[in-house]
């Protein structure tokens, strides 16, 4: 394979020119496992690890490679290994808050052109979850596409498409069935050579089945969904970059039962443009959309123009982002202190020498 097949373009070429004199080569991260990386290059796959200098200078998770990254490497082809010295600037990055109590970023995929937001047309169908995915997709810098899988299991596909219109707000929506082989050809246009598509969705949404269909081989393990609640088991256990033989690149990701926001405040207005446009018509500038008179939001809900559940989702996401911002401020202050402590320590050791 060549670099263009892997997604290399003029943007990365311009960034790489700054490093050509240093003798580095480039590769793309295809898989990460416990700080070891599978790297795709023009001369085959290599097993890589970050250099001591890169590890020393890294402050947060964002400073380490993630699946989809283009990295600067010193290859040792005879050993099948490489040392990673740096990461080329990303043009897109999909992140979420890592699971648990700590406020830490988990990078799901980088340098993605299109995000397939996969939701099954069975009991897994959830408009509020789709809203959340859309919010984070817009923040990532990639273009979202809603893919509704398992249309063969749904008796009212048209009704589901109607329900999703106010949520999608111009985002392409495709209903597909791998079993019946319907709608799949609509997705081919997103997988032209050099284009990267990441599949995101909950367990059992059909991401791995769809990935297998798009690449033409049974590469990803597929589990049956549980009877009774249509919930899936975790099929894909890691993020992996897969080159499609007919063109394009797919990044399949593990199912996400929980998707906590990470730095998505700027995209709230984009995802909920309908609500924020209505709010501009409220009589009071500081209207809380509760008991105030002449509230455009309350009137729109009463008139059936705005779904009350969608408005509640908007308010919930606002509160979640505000809470995350407060925690991030404290984390940023702590990281800044630790950064200066590290620099001070380095200077002290250098002076002693």
Residues annotated in a binding site: 149-152, 201-209, 282, 287, 289, 295
Q: Which residues contact 235 (CB under 8 A, 6 or more apart)?
A: 203, 207, 208, 220, 221, 222, 223, 255
Rounded CA-CA distance 137/261 in Å is 11
Buried b (16+ CB within 10 A) or exposed e, 121-136: bbebbebebbbbbbbb
- Whether 136 and 145 have beta carbons less than 8 Å apart is answered as no
Q: Which residues pair with 116 in a beta bridge?
A: 145, 199
- In this structure, the chain runs to a length of 353
Binding-site residue set for Zn(2+): 282, 287, 289, 295
Q: Which residue has the tokens 């399949």?
A: 252
Find the radius of gyration of the CA atoms of the chain.
23
Binding-site residue set for GTP: 149-152, 201-209
- Please report, to the nearest 10 degrees, the dihedral formed by the alpha carbons of residues 262, 268, 272, 273 taken in order: -150
Q: Which residue has the tokens 């019946």?
A: 180
């Amino acid at each position: 394979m060549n670099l263009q097949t892997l997604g290399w373009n003029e943007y990365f070429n311009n960034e790489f020119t700054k490093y050509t004199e240093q003798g580095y080569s480039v590769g793309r991260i295809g898989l990460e496992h416990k700080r070891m990386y599978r790297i795709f290059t023009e001369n085959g796959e290599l097993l890589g690890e970050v250099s001591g200098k890169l590890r020393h200078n890294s402050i947060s998770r964002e400073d380490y490679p993630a699946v989809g990254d283009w990295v600067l490497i010193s290859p040792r082809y005879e050993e099948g290994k490489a040392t990673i010295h740096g990461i080329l600037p990303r043009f897109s990055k999909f992140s979420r808050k890592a699971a648990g109590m700590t406020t830490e970023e988990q990078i799901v995929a980088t340098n993605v052109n299109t995000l397939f937001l996969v939701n099954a047309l069975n009991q897994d169908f959830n408009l509020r979850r789709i809203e959340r995915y859309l919010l984070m997709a817009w923040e990532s810098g990639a273009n979202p596409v809603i893919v509704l899988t398992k249309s063969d299991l749904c008796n009212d596909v048209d009704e589901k498409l109607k329900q999703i219109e106010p949520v999608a707000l111009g985002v392409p929506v495709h209903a597909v069935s791998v079993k019946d082989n319907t709608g799949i050809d609509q997705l081919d246009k997103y997988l032209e050579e050099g284009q990267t598509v990441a599949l995101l969705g909950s367990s059992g949404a059909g991401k791995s089945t769809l990935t297998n269909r798009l690449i033409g081989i049974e590469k990803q393990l597929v589990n049956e969904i549980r009877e009774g609640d249509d919930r899936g088991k975790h099929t894909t256990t890691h993020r992996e970059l897969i080159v499609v033989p007919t063109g394009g690149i797919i990044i399949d990701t593990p199912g996400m039962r929980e998707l906590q926001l990470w730095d998505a405040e700027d995209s709230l207005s984009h995802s909920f443009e309908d609500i924020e446009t209505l709010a501009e018509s409220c009589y009071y500038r500081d209207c809380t959309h509760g008991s105030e008179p002449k509230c455009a939001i309350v009137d729109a809900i009463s008139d059936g123009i705005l779904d009350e559940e969608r408005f509640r989702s908007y308010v919930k996401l606002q509160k979640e982002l505000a809470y995350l911002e407060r925690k991030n401020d404290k984390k940023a202050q702590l990281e800044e202190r630790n950064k200066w402590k590290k620099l001070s320590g380095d200077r002290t050791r250098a002076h002693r020498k």
